[in-house]
Amino acid sequence: MTQPYATVLTITHAVLALLMPVLLVGVINRTKSWWAGRKGPRLLQSASDLRRLLRKRSLISTVASPLFHAGAYMVLVCSLVAVAMTPMLGRFAPLQFSHDFIVVAYTLGLARIALMVSAMDVGSSFEGMGAAREASFSSYAEPALFLLIGTASAATGMTSFADLIGHLHDTPHYLLIVAPFALALLILLQAEAARVPVDDPMTHLELTMIHEVMILDHSGPELAAMQYCAGVKITLYAGLIASLLNPMNPGSEPVAAILVSLGLMLLVALVVGCIESLVARLPMHWVPRYVLLAGAAALASMVALGLGASGL
Amino acid sequence: MDHLVWAVGALMLGGVLCLLPARNGLRAGVGLASQLIATLLVWWSVIPVLMGAPDRILELPWGYPIGALHFRLDALGAFFLSWSLPMTLLGSVYAVGYLRRYFDSPRHMGVHFGLLNMISLSFILVYTGEHAVTFLLGWEIAALSAWLLVIWDYTNQRVRFAGFNYLVSTHVGLIFLVAAVMILYTHTQSWYLDDYGDWMRQNPGTVRNTVFLLLVTSFGLKSAFFPFHSWLPRAHAAAPAHVSALMSGVIHKAGLFALVHFLMISGKPDEWMGWFLIAFSITSAVVGGLYTVGQRDLKRLLGYSSTENVGIAGIGFGLGCLGQSWDHPTLVALGFGGGLLHVLNHAFFKCQLFYAAGCVYQIKHVVDMERLGGLFRLMPITAVCFIVGGVAISALPPFNGFVSEFMLYSGLFGSGISPIWATLALSLVAAALAFVGAVSALSMTRAFGVIFLGNARDTELPQGQEACGWMLAPMCLHAAGTALLGIAPTLGLAMVAAPTALLMHGLPGPQGPRILQELAGTLSRVGLFSAALVLAVLAVLWLRRRVLRPSAAASSTWGCGYGAPSARMQYTGTGFSTDFAAPFKGILLLLKRRKAPAGYFPSDSYVITDCVDAVERRLYAVIGHGDESAADISRKMHEDDPRLAFAAGLAGIVAIAALIVVSEGALP
């Protein structure tokens, strides 16, 4: 499918996909510092952090196998490829083909397995624990994403990810399904990108970590890649929420669509930051229930669609 | 078809020659040579059929009461034959390495290789037999040979029990199969599967439904669907690695073949059959996946993942049935095509994983993951093969498992399905399939991480290194196939295209070839994507090496400041799965035996956890219970009273007569 302004949109999507991980993390941290009454770090602080890490030499455990060297970069490539296929500006993604959402979900799955294998690779009990948590929580998160996709696919009858999400507001039952849909995506963001209340990126106690504990033995450029990827995941889900809510059509009014999406993504970061400031993180055994809430919300949107479509 | 006859001859001759008095090495050589010849002959006849040549038919006159024997090689049989025989050959090559230390012992190795020949022979009989008797004969040869192969280590009582358990289960399956054949025989007075198909096409109804249910039970037992899987983990754990690999990857695919073959000949299925198959299969996939999480024994884990994967293939077949009953050719192509492709893919990566487990067993003599660890350094090739298989079995790109699941998901999220609730129900199935994928990623990461990464947990186990070339070669060939079918999925699609077209025959709307062509287009894009992903990772690694400071300094693992970590402090497999398994207590029965330390100077204390099969446990509980209550009833009834025996006989006769009267003379 050729879209008008495809080149402009592709370039914008690429620029946003690369920059937003830094900016969104900055916005979240800034929001948290506002709530705490601190001045807080600069908006682009994490860019400086990443640059500093890139210049450092990495330390690798003697226990690690050769796979360890590739792990971080596999996570990086997979996350970036996934974000290239995910809509961010409405009904548009640079890489788009029929049933590409399956590829997105499973590419993220590959990134996850690379992360978990890297964590297990150094033979540390903490990192093994982190990998186990990541694996079990993601197995609750994955069905939720597929339920959302199924709902969107049944509502629009389209086959590519960007079309599914971007065309939802043209469907008659948009208002019925949008709220649970967005809620499910927000919970998925928190679960997959390791944010409060599922995980706390700022914690300093190994026993309470999920994502951070898995990258304990990464350093230098590898750590930079891993930290950047966490931002990429925020961008991916924030972009999905933005395209779900964005009423503009990037094909006909690209500037408006881009601006609205940008605003919505920043808003998502703001919301995530507010939640992080106001809510304590959950005890570990509650996390699966919280993630299942995403599944329940997705199921609710599905039921709403079913009832709406059958005229009840 | 003549080549197939020659292939049967070669296998039988090879099997007999294996038994002759000779050196064990020579016997193995004869077995391998005859299998190689048979494989080439089989390829000679099946490749043209897969390319679109007409079916090959052979009739052999035979005596009363069997009548003439019919064999027919159609595209479906050709697809299964095209990989079953070569994979059995590879399994036999692996056997040479695996059993090499017995070659100089007085043990007769010819029997083992002869039995492997018989397995290949049974494939030809089952996949081409048009006559019910030859079909059942092939089925039985496969079952008995597999049983005898499983009990290779027959001096071990546990192995004998596992074998006996398998033998009983497979024959319970045979009872259902024979019952279905008997029903069809009474209606058609014929031994030919074709006639059965004709009859069922003309008379859809109760009888066809009964036959369908009987056959699903029988084939479910053969392919180890839940809840008919309880024989499987025992058999897989007890058998030599190559036998487990062949059973899981190749032999038990006969059940799925028979299911598809039945669906193919029995005409347009009812809608409920599709939904039933999907529900049956997704249960299998979910429960099989959950079981893999709890296992400590690597081979049991891989065995359970067979249950999961036949379930995934079964979802495809159910989807195909729905497509047939809704006259939706795209759904038929995606369902049956995806299911068949998954069968092929599973054969590739499952054999590979079992071979890797065999290599581990060969050097460490255990497959209990809690005692292993750090094997990557000892056996890098095996480790890489295992992780390739693990990624493929979790259906992740860039390997072949992803391609077949992509097809299944495309079907489940298919467009043009009319009632909205059907679309949503299929989305629920897709979500369940996503759960299965994530669970299988969990258990493969767990198995790989605990066994191959980190440090060795038990230093008392023998040290060793990579297994011999006889074992590595088949494993690497399988891994290469797994990668190739992932990067070039059109190859796999080309193999399943002919059988899928056969199943799409007779549907209205746009013709099969066009749909398959579109599908090939989509799949080639998926393949391109996978290849690009691999290249991108390599490019980034290269860039990192060139641009950034290259040398990484070595250090020790972060231990929270603790200076003397030991290998026993690493995360264990049980620890990995405990959190996840907690909500699934009903399925993942964790038995814990422990002796707590007591006193000021505790001497010995232990805790042993074991994940046992819930179905098997309940089955035995019920059998034990039933045994007791039967004994109880018999005591109360004074069984030795002849009047009671006569009364029971009379009641039986009356019941049979009533059945005949009610069924209006359907019985001859």
Q: Where are the beta strands (DSSP E) in B2-105?
A: 56-60, 69-73
A112 shares contact with chain B (CB less than 8 Å)? yes
Domain ranges of chain A: 6-309
> A69: how many CB neighbours lie within 10 A of its CB?
18
B536 shares contact with chain A (CB less than 8 Å)? yes
B191 shares contact with chain A (CB less than 8 Å)? no
pLDDT at B508: 65
Whether A113 sits inside 8 A of B540 (CB atoms) is: no
pLDDT digits (tens, 9 = 90+) for B5-44: 999 999 999 999 998 878 888 999 999 999 999 999 999 9
Distance of alpha carbon A166 from alpha carbon A176, whole angstroms: 16
Distance of alpha carbon B540 from alpha carbon B530, whole angstroms: 16
For B:405-444, CB contacts with A below 8 A are 405-406, 409-410, 412-413, 415-416, 420-421, 423-424, 426-428, 430-435, 437-439, 441-442, 444
pLDDT at B86: 95
Q: Which residues does chain B have within 8 Å of residue A305's beta carbon, measured at their own beta carbons? A: 420, 424
Give me B13's structure tokens.
Answer: 């001759």
- C-alpha separations of B273 from B224, B315, B420, B643 in Å: 19, 12, 19, 46
A282 shares contact with chain B (CB less than 8 Å)? no
Closest CA to B574 of B304, B437, B369, B376: B369
Whether A103 sits inside 8 A of B522 (CB atoms) is: no
Distance of alpha carbon A108 from alpha carbon A77, whole angstroms: 10
Q: By three-state DSSP, how is residue A1 classified?
A: coil
Top mean-pLDDT range of A4-13, B67-76, B259-268, B352-361:
B352-361
For A216, name the nearest residue in chain B, comparing CA atoms only: B558
C-alpha distance from B518 to closest chain A C-alpha (Å): 11
- C-alpha separations of B604 from A214, A286, B175, B568, B607 in Å: 35, 36, 50, 17, 11
pLDDT digits (tens, 9 = 90+) for B241-293: 999 999 999 998 999 999 999 999 888 888 999 999 999 999 999 999 999 99
Whether A99 sits inside 8 A of B409 (CB atoms) is: yes
A220 shares contact with chain B (CB less than 8 Å)? yes
A213 shares contact with chain B (CB less than 8 Å)? no
pLDDT digits (tens, 9 = 90+) for A208-261: 888 989 999 999 999 999 999 999 999 999 999 999 999 888 888 889 999 999
pLDDT digits (tens, 9 = 90+) for B440-494: 999 999 999 999 999 999 888 888 888 889 999 999 999 999 999 999 999 999 9
Contact B285, B312 (CB under 8 A): yes
Which residue out of A139, A173, A177, A215 would a mutagenesis test of the B interface target, given it has the greatest number of B Cβ atoms within 10 Å? A139
Give me B644's structure tokens.
Answer: 């009671």
C-alpha distance from B230 to closest chain A C-alpha (Å): 25
Closest CA to B185 of B139, B131, B134: B131
C-alpha distance from A208 to closest chain B C-alpha (Å): 13
Closest CA to A265 of A191, A206, A189: A189
Q: Residue B642 pLDDT more than 90?
A: no
Contact A293, A189 (CB under 8 A): no
- Chain mean position to CA B182: 27
Higher-pLDDT residue of B356, A206:
B356
As averages over each run of 10 residues, the pLDDT of chain A (312 residues) reads: 77 94 95 93 93 91 91 95 93 89 94 94 91 93 94 89 89 90 95 90 84 91 94 95 91 90 96 94 91 94 88 70
**How many CB pairs below 8 Å do chains A and B form together?**
254
For A:252-281, CB contacts with B below 8 A are none
Contact A302, A149 (CB under 8 A): no
Q: Residue B216 pLDDT more than 80?
A: yes
Q: Which residues does chain A have within 8 Å of residue B397's beta carbon, measured at their own beta carbons? A: 103, 106-107, 110
pLDDT at A221: 92
B569 shares contact with chain A (CB less than 8 Å)? yes
B579 shares contact with chain A (CB less than 8 Å)? yes
A221 shares contact with chain B (CB less than 8 Å)? yes
C-alpha distance from B77 to closest chain A C-alpha (Å): 31
pTM of the model: 0.94
Q: By three-state DSSP, how is residue B457 classified?
A: coil
Which residue out of A124, A209, A285 would a mutagenesis test of the B interface target, given it has the greatest number of B Cβ atoms within 10 Å? A124
A163 shares contact with chain B (CB less than 8 Å)? no
Contact B433, B439 (CB under 8 A): no
For A128, name the nearest residue in chain B, comparing CA atoms only: B571
The CA angle B480-B481-B485, to the nearest 5 degrees, is: 120
Q: What is the C-alpha end-to-end distance of chain B, expressed in Å?
A: 36
Q: Residue B550 pLDDT more than 90?
A: no
Q: What is the mean pLDDT of chain B?
A: 89
Per-residue pLDDT band at B61 (split at 50, 70, 90) = confident
Which residue out of B410, B519, B548, B562 would a mutagenesis test of the A interface target, given it has the greatest number of A Cβ atoms within 10 Å? B548
Q: Which residues does chain B have within 8 Å of residue A123's beta carbon, measured at their own beta carbons? A: 373-374, 453-455, 557, 567, 570
Whether B453 sits inside 8 A of A116 (CB atoms) is: no
Query: Facing residues of B610 across strands?
Result: B591
In this structure, the strands spanning A59-61 and B553-555 are parallel
C-alpha distance from A221 to closest chain B C-alpha (Å): 8
Q: What is the C-alpha end-to-end distance of chain A, expressed in Å?
A: 35
Q: Which residues does chain B have within 8 Å of residue A296's beta carbon, measured at their own beta carbons? A: none
Residue B381, Cβ density class (10 Å: 0-12 exposed, 13-18 middle, ≥19 buried): middle
C-alpha distance from A223 to closest chain B C-alpha (Å): 13
Q: How much of chain A is helix, strand and coil, in % rounded to 5? A: 75, 0, 25
Per-residue pLDDT band at B643 (split at 50, 70, 90) = confident
Distance of alpha carbon B243 from alpha carbon B237, whole angstroms: 10
Comparing CB atoms, the residue among B446, B556, B569 nearest residue A61 is B556
C-alpha distance from A291 to closest chain B C-alpha (Å): 13
B573 shares contact with chain A (CB less than 8 Å)? no
Give me B337's structure tokens.
Answer: 């095509």
pLDDT at B91: 95
Distance of alpha carbon B551 from alpha carbon B543, whole angstroms: 14
ipTM score assigned to the predicted complex: 0.96
For B:590-649, CB contacts with A below 8 A are none
Distance of alpha carbon B176 from alpha carbon B220, whole angstroms: 11
B524 shares contact with chain A (CB less than 8 Å)? no
C-alpha distance from B221 to closest chain A C-alpha (Å): 28
Per-residue pLDDT band at B626 (split at 50, 70, 90) = confident
What residue spans of B413-563 are helical by DSSP H? 420-452, 469-487, 489-504, 512-547
A203 shares contact with chain B (CB less than 8 Å)? no
Q: Which residues does chain B have within 8 Å of residue A306's beta carbon, measured at their own beta carbons? A: 420-421, 424
Range with the poorest average pLDDT among A82-96, B84-98, B212-226, B505-519: B505-519
A296 shares contact with chain B (CB less than 8 Å)? no
pLDDT at B666: 53
pLDDT at A1: 46
Q: Which residues does chain A have within 8 Å of residue B548's beta carbon, measured at their own beta carbons? A: 54, 220-221
Q: Which residues does chain B have within 8 Å of residue A58's beta carbon, measured at their own beta carbons? A: 552-553
In this structure, the strands spanning B588-595 and B606-613 are antiparallel
